[in-house]
């Protein structure tokens, strides 16, 4: 019988902890909860000590504030479960998240599973819905955009995590993308077409310096680890099947558009456009009766950009 763990790194998350604890109060008793207290100073440690004392599922690990990669690796070392579910303390999760992702564990050679997700502001203002790629090869292709495989919604095979050496400090601040790219060398990535996560856009993620640093490191990791030929062959061989399959799930138009955008990003990254790519784009356009999804995606991205601008401006004063 396979076993499961939650992995939660926390640093100064006291205000969010009661809600997170209430979520796990409804989770089955055989579900291990590994929490890494990364040198908190706001009362988080006292809360977690009491939670561990009253809940035998909780395994509390103390870290020294050396960064999220080291904290996550400490948590991985403390758990022996077959599957690791990532959680972040400031995000919100749907009750069916775990059961929905577990429905995929029998997929051949699965090493990681993600989900759709919603983005909210610090005050819970809706900033958009991100549909995932679902299919294994499409999920790999979506790594080029680095926005459709949310770290806090990941379900990960622990054996594969151990084989690749866990998280790498050198991948920061894109430690999750580095992990996905390495995991793909061992197996398949997948996703469920359900919004299991409300991801909170934090103040740190809004800063221009942080975004510039992430973009630079992302491009380095893509250039080093992304298998462009595999991705290209996958969409040439499977694109029709993938596009048709999206008609069976929600946000079909948006998923198709994002799939095409990922292809365009690959060509932009390599600064090339092959004849076969152009033929694919023309065939893909035949799947659209309207472009209402493009309007929605554009408006939601504009809404997030405005929010970032407003918060960045406010933080200057």
3-state secondary structure of 61: strand
Q: Which helix (H) or strand (E) holds 226?
A: none
Condensed to tens digits (0 to 9), the pLDDT of residues 283-299 reads: 666 666 667 788 899 99
Three-state secondary-structure class, residue 113: strand
User: Could you give all domains of the chain from N- to C-terminal order, each with its CATH number?
Assistant: 1-90 (3.90.550.10), 91-146+158-317 (no CATH)
Ramachandran bin of 114, using left for φ above 0, alpha for ψ from -120 to 50, beta for the remaining angles: beta
Enclosing H/E stretch for 195: strand 188-200
Residue 157: its H or E element: strand 155-157
Q: List the chain pLDDT tens, one digit each, 317 residues.
A: 889 999 999 999 999 999 999 999 998 788 999 999 999 999 999 999 999 999 999 999 999 999 999 999 999 999 989 999 999 999 999 999 999 999 999 999 999 999 999 999 988 999 999 999 999 999 999 999 999 999 999 999 999 999 999 999 999 999 999 999 999 999 999 999 999 999 999 766 655 567 888 999 999 999 999 999 888 888 778 888 998 899 999 999 999 999 988 888 887 887 666 656 666 666 666 666 667 788 899 999 999 999 988 887 776 65
* Residues paired with residue 115 on neighbouring β-strands, in sequence order: 192
């Amino acid at each position: 019988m396979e076993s499961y763990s939650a992995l939660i790194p926390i640093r100064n998350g006291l205000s969010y902890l009661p809600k997170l604890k209430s979520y796990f109060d409804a989770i089955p008793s055989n579900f291990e909860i590994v929490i890494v207290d990364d040198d908190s100073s706001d009362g988080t440690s006292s809360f977690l000590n009491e939670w561990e004392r009253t809940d035998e599922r909780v395994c509390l690990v103390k870290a020294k504030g050396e960064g999220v990669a080291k904290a996550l690796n400490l948590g991985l070392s403390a758990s022996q479960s077959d599957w690791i579910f990532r959680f972040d303390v400031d995000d919100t999760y749907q009750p069916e998240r775990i059961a929905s992702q577990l429905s995929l564990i029998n997929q051949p050679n699965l090493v990681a599973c993600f989900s759709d997700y919603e983005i909210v502001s610090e005050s819970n203002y809706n900033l958009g819905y991100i549909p995932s790629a679902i299919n294994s090869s499409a999920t790999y292709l979506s790594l080029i955009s680095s926005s459709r495989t949310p770290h806090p919604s990941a379900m990960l095979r622990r054996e594969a995590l151990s084989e690749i050496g866990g998280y790498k400090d050198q991948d920061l601040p894109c430690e999750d993308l580095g992990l996905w790219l390495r995991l793909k060398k061992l197996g398949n990535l997948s996703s469920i077409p359900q919004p299991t996560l409300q991801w909170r856009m934090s103040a740190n993620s809004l800063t221009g310096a942080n975004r510039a640093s992430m973009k630079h490191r992302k491009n380095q990791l893509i250039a080093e680890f992304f298998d462009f030929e595999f991705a290209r062959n996958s969409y040439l061989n499977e694109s029709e099947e993938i596009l048709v399959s999206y008609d069976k799930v929600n946000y079909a138009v948006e998923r198709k558009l994002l799939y095409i955008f990922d292809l365009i990003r690959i060509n932009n990254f390599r600064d090339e456009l092959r004849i076969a790519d152009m033929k694919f784009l023309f065939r893909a356009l035949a799947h659209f009766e309207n472009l209402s999804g493009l309007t929605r995606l554009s408006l939601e991205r504009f809404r997030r950009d405005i929010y970032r601008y407003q918060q960045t401006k406010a933080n200057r004063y």
